Amino acid sequence: MSSRNSVSSALRLLEGPQTLGKGPGFWAGFAVVLALACAYPLFADGYDVGNNVYFFNWAFMALGLGLIWGYGGALSFGQTAFFGVAGYAYGVLTINLGDAYGLTFFSLVAAVAISALFAAVLGYFLFFGRISGVFLGIVTLSVTLVLERFMSQTAGPEWAIGSARLNGFNGMGGMPSLTIPWPGGDIVLFPDVALYYLTLAILVVVYLALRMLVNSRFGNVLVAIRENPQRAEMLGYDIRRYQLGAFVIGSGLAGLSGVLYTAWGNYITPSSMGMSAAALPVVWVAVGGRSDLTTTLFGTLLVLAGFQYLTIYGSQYALVVMGVLLVVTILAAPSGIFITLGALFSKGLRRRLKRERA
């Protein structure tokens, strides 16, 4: 009985003050979008479907940054550090352990845990050292750039962990894809329809879980810290713990992105932790609207698709366009494009826009 109560009260948190969208209308829309996403492989070539898993791979890092920055008010400019650490960790683990017996999934979990642990140690010094505002961005950016430099000079044969060569600037390859153990032959999740469904399922679970998290008591305190850290502390909350908690969860999600990306392309390079890589998640999250999970998710997918389009069709200026997009967003639509455009049609969003501008 009590367990049923706790399940139903957890489900109630899917809607709340910290998330846009409630009621049958929203969930009907959610079901339609999910159905379309599920139906997509029926109408497309397996190769294309596999390629497009790429877009989902990044969404976790964006949602994590939305949690840390949009909800917690702490701008981390170095989420790619956790992406890279987890990607390399997956490579090292799977190259040494192999892909039998579901060990790739063990490696996935272990690599995410390693990135979360790294975030816990770094975050401890950041938040318990009361580093905030622009300095938080500078320190986190420095960390990711240091990691990029470090990994770039690991070309020599002495840089190997077990049988995994780190390979310096050229990057590490040859790690196995995610592999499901199956009687009569393991199922290898090459970039194809099966990997698409797995990644989509993880994305849906993470999205819904984050909705519950931000509408919980934890989420209440997190937005309170964003609004007024002194007042939050003077209500008896140890705000450092809450900020650290959000940072570890958000960075673990960046790690999940790193693992999924590495397993998808069987490849990871130091430049995944470089300057432009570090800036891009900030652009995705800002353009979509960082103060909400749904706008963050769709903004990320939209900007990624646009970036991909520009890169493929010959433009050398995709990165410049991203920079312009960020500047325009900050000047013209600081709440993100969805909330700004939506405000043209919805009174509730107009109110929200007004208060976010205030």
Please state the φ and ψ torsions of residue 313, each to the nearest 5 degrees.
-90, 40
Q: Strand (E) positions, 21-178?
A: 160-161, 164-165, 172-173
DSSP, residue by residue, 144-201: HHHHHHHHHT--STT-EETTEE--GGG-EE-PPPPEE--TTS-EE--TTHHHHHHHHH
Residue with Cβ nearer other proteins (18 or 140): 18
The verdict on 235 binding other proteins (CB under 8 A) reads yes
Which residues have CB under 8 Å from 101's CB, separation 6+? 181
Q: Which of 34, 201, 234, 324 binds other proteins (CB under 8 A)?
A: 234
The verdict on 347 binding other proteins (CB under 8 A) reads no
Q: Which of 224, 260, 326, 353 binds other proteins (CB under 8 A)?
A: 224
Q: Which of 133, 227, 320, 348 binds other proteins (CB under 8 A)?
A: 227
Q: Which of 8, 157, 316, 355 binds other proteins (CB under 8 A)?
A: 355
Q: Which of 132, 237, 271, 321 binds other proteins (CB under 8 A)?
A: 237
Residue with Cβ nearer other proteins (15 or 356): 356
DSSP letter, residue 178: P
Structure tokens that stand for 178 in this block: 């995610």
The verdict on 12 binding other proteins (CB under 8 A) reads no
Residue with Cβ nearer other proteins (165 or 352): 352
Pick the piece of the chain touching other proteins (CB under 8 A) from 146-154, 185-193, 219-227, 245-253: 219-227
Q: Give the nearest distance from C-beta 234 to other proteins in angstroms.
A: 5
C-beta separation of 116 from 255 below 8 A: yes
Q: Could you give the string, one character per residue 13-52, with x where binding to other proteins holds by CB under 8 A and - elsewhere? A: ----x-----------------------------------
Residue with Cβ nearer other proteins (31 or 235): 235
Largest CA distance in the chain: 62
Which residues have CB under 8 Å from 248's CB, separation 6+? 116, 119, 120, 123
Pick the piece of the chain touching other proteins (CB under 8 A) from 111-119, 137-145, 294-302, 348-356: 348-356
> Could you give the residue ranges of the DSSP H alpha helices within 23-78?
23-39, 46-65
Distance from first CA to last CA of the chain, Å, rounded?
45
Pick the piece of the chain touching other proteins (CB under 8 A) from 24-32, 55-63, 136-144, 234-242: 234-242
> Could you give the residue ranges of the DSSP H alpha helices within 266-346?
275-288, 293-312, 318-332, 337-342
Residues in region 179-218 near other proteins by CB under 8 A: 217
Shortest CA distance to 126 belongs to which of 33, 246, 277? 246
Binding residues for other proteins, rule: CB under 8 A, are 17, 217, 220-221, 223-224, 227-228, 230-239, 351, 355-356, 358
